[in-house]
Structure 1
Amino acid sequence: MRELRIKKKPGWTSRLSPSLAAFVTNPKGMSGVIILLAIILFSILAPMFSEYNPHRRAGKPHVAPSYEHVMGTTRMGKDVYTQVAYGGRISLGVGFGAGIAAAVIGLAIGISAGYFGGRVDDILTFFVNVVLVLPGLPLIIVIASLVDSAGPLVIGIVLALTGWGWPARTIRTQTLSLRTREFVLSAELMGEKKWRIIFKEIFPNMLSFFMSGLVLGTIAAILAEAALSFIGLGDPNAVTWGTMLYWAQNNMALQTGAWWEIWPPALAIMLTGAALVMINFAVDEITNPQLKAGRKIGLIRKFLKRRGRSADVF
């Protein structure tokens, strides 16, 4: 008798591109995306989650978390839950704005310097070295002392203009190694335009470095905004996660036992950073062949251990 073989229908991931399908099936990447999307939607849809105004008094001072005030109130009677939701708009805006700007500038300058070489490389490398020695936080402190307080927009612009140096240097080094590869040389011999070679041949190989620069730049910008606001150099009238920590410190929240003023913004910053790091790990595993091979070997070892076989060959 012939054996009946049941053909499995291809899953929905088969309709996606290989890289996107690999990311969707990566537990770290999808966990980071879900957490990050939840935080972003919570901030964008803040009016739907709270009826209070983050700048106005909503109840009695230092009320512990309750049904009416889920995360309690501050010393000024403002609702902490509302401030966390609205504060995420500015904190995430500064983080993603500065991170994306720094990553894009670093990508453009790094690829241009590495691919064109010659005088273009010398000029762009000079600017990269200048940016690398410019300290972002001290520069913001100086600006804040001149204008009384540095708002989120000023912080974001300074971090974007001073944060693209390391991504540009890393991408330039990788581009120098790619410009002599066979697929780039063959594209040049076929008469392809330089911009097409950059976007079609070189840029896909820089996705991992671009995402790393984007993620690390975003995390650094969020932490920098929070740190500067916490020490009083930001705009105290703006509602951000950093200014929440600043007012909690001024109001002696820990000394009075009002822990709910500190933990919500701190946890929001921590979860955002953790989500971005998980996304970065997933992108590295997909785009880096060595990490991909290490992941496969780890899966094989687990399989052999379950079967009771030796995994020393790996």
Structure 2
Amino acid sequence: MALQATEPEVPLDTAGGAGATAAGRRDRLRFLRNPKTVTGLAILGVFVLLAVAGSWLAPHDPSARGDELLQPPSWQHPFGTTQTGQDIFSQILVGTRGVLVVGFLAAAIATVLGVIVGVTAGYLGGVGDDLLSSVSNVFLVIPGLPLIIIITSLLPDTNDLTIALVIGLTSWAWGARVLRAQTLSLRGRDYVQAARATGESTWRIIVCELLPNLTPVIASGFVGTVIFAVLAEITLAFIGVADISHWNWGTVLFWAQNNQALAQDAWWWFVPAGLCIALLGTALSLINFGIDEFVNPRLRSQGRAGRGVRMRVGFTPVVRAPRGTPVRDAPRTGTIRKDSQP
């Protein structure tokens, strides 16, 4: 028979002021220590660098035609050429800027609108909440991508700024609903009630008390909106709604599809753009997962419990009680094994 004595566990960060301070610093750096976050930020940093310096790093003019028609990847053309001799590597580099500009600008617009509508509706309540919630529900039931396609096709100019504005103005409703629900759970907290009792203004309570506690949710919604905006912008270019004379990854796929690159086994024409889309989406998803693990108490407690179990495994001493010793007289630490034979 084996019995194991249990003792209450003492958190490591309560041992003293220095330990608590060190634990606080570790908590603040947990987000940057997360492998998912580090990987996502590294991949995203590479794309940002290409977006900034892509036009200078491009070895050729992406629109210039050449004599090497539909050639596979080589040292001179790392991603091969099109059927008109254009360098695909230069098209990918130059097109990175448009993808990121549209993605981040549209996400910024949608996030600002979502914060204004969601937090205001959740905190004020009453008629204002009903009106803003009704507007959000209308935008939620309308399919987002078809609405973007219809609006963009009706506009005379479809540059990056116009596309970002259309995507941002039609993609804020989901974030607003999430922020409204979070605000409803926060407006009854003690610190909010204390701020009201001291006569703080409504906007100061929203800005100084509510928004700091909603920052992780806002950041997660921003990253998710970037992913949607990037895919929407590439879709518009791929179906020919956007300006196909302006290079981005969707434009590369548009010309590859129109010239039947797949039928000609010209895999190098569409695979690089597809890989870039997949890598950018993976980077943003990893950052989103890192934010979720950072702000989710359940995920944090599971991680700490797992680390605690791994630290304790293999360090439990085994104490054998002499034969005939009652269990109540045995040592109270470690694992007690009592021989069953007399």
Query: Per-residue CA shift, 1:182-241, capped at 9, x if unaligned?
Result: 111112212233222212221122122212211111111111111222222222111010
Count of aligned pairs: 297
Deviations 1:132-178 (A, max 9, x none): 12333222332354458844433322211111101101110110111
Aligned counterpart for 2:61 among listed residues 34, 53, 61: 53
**Alignment partner of 1:136 is 2:144:** yes
Aligned equivalents of 1:138, 1:131: Cα separation in 2: 12
Q: Give the secondary structure class of the aligned counterpart of 2:218.
A: helix
Listed one character per residue, the Cα deviations across residues 24-53 of structure 1 (whole Å, up to 9, x for unaligned) are 212111111111011110121013322311
Pick the aligned partner of 1:275 from 269, 273, 283: 283
Q: Which range is displaced more, 291-300 or 245-254? A: 291-300
User: 4+ runs of 1 displaced by more than 6 Å?
Assistant: 16-19, 306-309
Instruction: Check the 8 A contact 1:149/1:233 in 2, yes or no.
Output: no
2:37 to 29, 46, 53: 29
Indicate conservation of the 8 Å contact 2:148/2:170, yes or no.
no
Greater mean deviation of Cα atoms: 226-235 or 85-94: 226-235
Pick which of 149-158 and 106-115 moved more: 149-158
CA-based RMSD: 2.5
Structure showing the higher helix proportion among its residues: 1
Gaps of 5+ in 1: 1-9, 310-314
Cα 1:34–1:255 change in 2 (3 A) is same
Q: What are the residue-to-residue correspondences of 1:1-314 with 2, within 5 Å? A: 20-58=28-66, 60-147=68-155, 150-304=158-312
- How big is the shift at 1:18? 6.5
Residue type matched to 1:99 in 2? A
Say which SS state the counterpart of residue 256 (structure 1) adopts: coil
Aligned residues of 1:140 and 1:150 also touching (Cα < 8 A): no
Please tell me whether the aligned partners of residues 143 and 150 of structure 1 are also in contact (alpha carbons under 8 angstroms): no
Q: Distance in 1 between matches of 2:316 and 2:64?
A: 64
Closer, same or farther: CA 224–209 of 1 in aligned 2, 3 Å: same
Q: Using the alignment, how far apart are the partners of 1:215 and 1:59 within structure 2?
A: 42
State how far apart, in whole Å, the 2-side matches of 1:193 and 1:205 are. 18
Q: Which moved more, 1:153-162 or 1:268-277?
A: 153-162
1:107-149 CA-partner distances (Å, limit 9, x unpaired): 1211111111122212211221222123332223323544588
Q: TM-score scaled to structure 2, two decimals?
A: 0.80
Deviation at 1:68, TM superposition (A): 0.9
Percent sequence identity is: 42
**1:161 to 1:85, Cα distance in 2 relative to 1, 3 A:** same
Q: Deviations over 1:93-113 (max 9, x none)?
A: 111111121112101211111
Q: Distance in 1 between matches of 2:29 and 2:202?
A: 30
The code of the aligned residue for 2:213 comes to N
Q: Is the 8 A contact 1:59 1:79 kept in 2?
A: no
Amino acid aligned to 1:114: G
Seen in structure 2, the aligned counterparts of structure 1 residues 164 and 144 have a Cα distance that, compared at 3 Å, is closer
Partners of 1:69 and 1:81 within 8 A in 2: yes
Given the superposition, is the C-alpha separation of residues 306 and 58 from structure 1 closer, same or farther in structure 2, using an over 3 Å criterion? farther
Aligned to 1:3: none
